[in-house]
Copies of this chain bind each other. A is one copy, B any other.
Amino acid sequence: MTGSCFAERLEHYLPLTDREKVALSRLEDIERHYRRGTVIRRENDRAHDIFVLRAGWMYSYVLLDDGSRQILRLHFPGDLVGTSGGAFVAATDSLVALTDVKLCPFEKGALSVLFEEHPRLAALLFVITQAERVSLTDRLASLGRTSARARVAALLLDTIDRLRLMNRDIGNSFHLPLTQEEIGDATGLTAVHVNRMMRVLVEEGLITRSNSTIIINDEERLARIANYINRYAELDTSWLPAPR
C-alpha cells in the first residue's frame, strides 16, 4: 500500500513504478475532513487547488440565473475533483460534500512536476480526462435525446459502475445518498417526476428500493432502456510513454 488513493485508482489501468507512486502520494500530503453538506468551494472562488477524493461522495454543480441547479458530476473515492481549476483562474463550478468526506487538496502547480518528471503519469492523466469527457458526452446524449425514465436509469448504472472501480465486490446493490431533488438536478428533471420514474422502474421489476439502498435486478435490460454504455471498464493505455 502506498497510501495514495489516486495511485490505487490508476493502478487499475496500469501497474505503476515506485517512483511514480511516490510522486502521486505527494498530492495527498494534506488530508482534510468535511461534514456532509459542506460547500467546499463555490463557483467563481479562486481555484488554486485540485483535490483527490479519498473517502465519501461529492458532486459539482452550477446555479443558473433563475435559481435552478444542474449537477454536473458525482465524485467517488479515487476521483480527481475540481480539475477545471487546472484551466481557469476562477472555479467554474461549486463543490459539495454529499456524505462526510476525506479530501486531499493540492496546488495546481504540483501538476507541473508531474508533467516534467513523470510523462507517463501525465499521459495517463490525459487519458483519464478524455474518459471523463466521453462520460460527459454520454450524459449530454442522455439529457438531449432520452426519456425521463431512461435518464434516471442511466444515473443509477453510471453510479454503480463507478463505485465498482474502487470496490470490486459491490454486487448489484448500493447505498444511494442522493435526494430525489438531487437526482432531478443531475438528470434535468423535477424531484416529483424523478419519484414517478423510480416507481415505474420498480414496478417494471428493473430495480428494488428500500430506504436509500438500490438493488439493480436486471442490469442488462436497464442498460438497454437507458442507452447506457460502461466507459470505465477499459482504457487504451497502449500508446503511453515509458515509465520513469
Query: What is the interface of chain A, defined by CB distance below 8 A to chain B?
Result: 47, 62, 64-65, 68-70, 72-73, 83-89, 92-93, 107-109, 111-113, 115-116, 119-120, 122-123, 125-134, 136-137, 139-141, 143-146, 187-188, 224, 227, 231, 234-236, 238-241
Q: Which chain B residue shows the least CB distance to A61?
A: B141
On whether A188 and B239 interact (CB within 8 A), knowing A131-B87, A133-B133, the answer reads no
Instruction: Tell me which of B47, B62, B115, B224 contacts A137 (CB under 8 A).
Output: B62
> Measured between alpha carbons, how far is A62 from B183 in the docked complex, in Å?
24
Nearest-Cβ distance from residue A3 to partner chain B, whole angstroms: 25
Q: In the docked arrangement, what's the CA distance between A92 and B140, Å?
A: 13
Given A188-B145, A239-B111, verify A93-B123 contact (CB < 8 Å).
no
Task: Answer whether A87 and B128 are a contact pair too, CB < 8 Å, given A115-B119, A145-B64, A239-B111.
Answer: yes
B88 in contact with A134 (CB, 8 Å): yes
Query: In the complex the two chains form, is B239's CB within 8 Å of A134's CB?
Result: no
Q: Is the CB of A88 within 8 A of B236?
A: yes
Q: A129-B129, A239-B112 are in contact. Are A187 and B134 (CB under 8 A)?
A: no
Q: Which 7 A-B pairs have the closest CB atoms?
A: A144-B188, A87-B130, A70-B141, A115-B119, A143-B143, A115-B123, A72-B137
Among A120, A134, A187, residue most surrounded by chain B Cβ atoms (within 10 Å): A134
In-complex Cβ contact of A69 among B62, B86, B145, B227 (8 A): B145
Given contacts A125-B126, A141-B70, contact A109 B235 (CB under 8 A): no
Chain B positions within 8 Å of A236 at CB level: 47, 85-89, 108
- Chain B residues with CB under 8 Å of A129's CB are 126, 129-130, 133
Chain B residue with the shortest CB-CB distance to A129: B129
Given the interface pairs A72-B140, A141-B64, the reply to whether A123 lies near B112 with Cβ below 8 Å is yes
Contact B70–A239 (Cβ < 8 Å): no
- In whole angstroms, what is the CA distance A70 to B145 when docked? 7
CA distance A111 to B126 in the complex (A): 10
**Residue pair B241, A126 in contact (C-beta under 8 Å):** no
Nearest residue, chain B, Cβ from A70: B141
A143 to B141: give the CA distance in the assembly, Å: 9
Report whether B137 and A231 are in contact in the complex, using a CB–CB cutoff of 8 Å: no
Interchain nearest-CB distance for A197 vs B (Å): 15
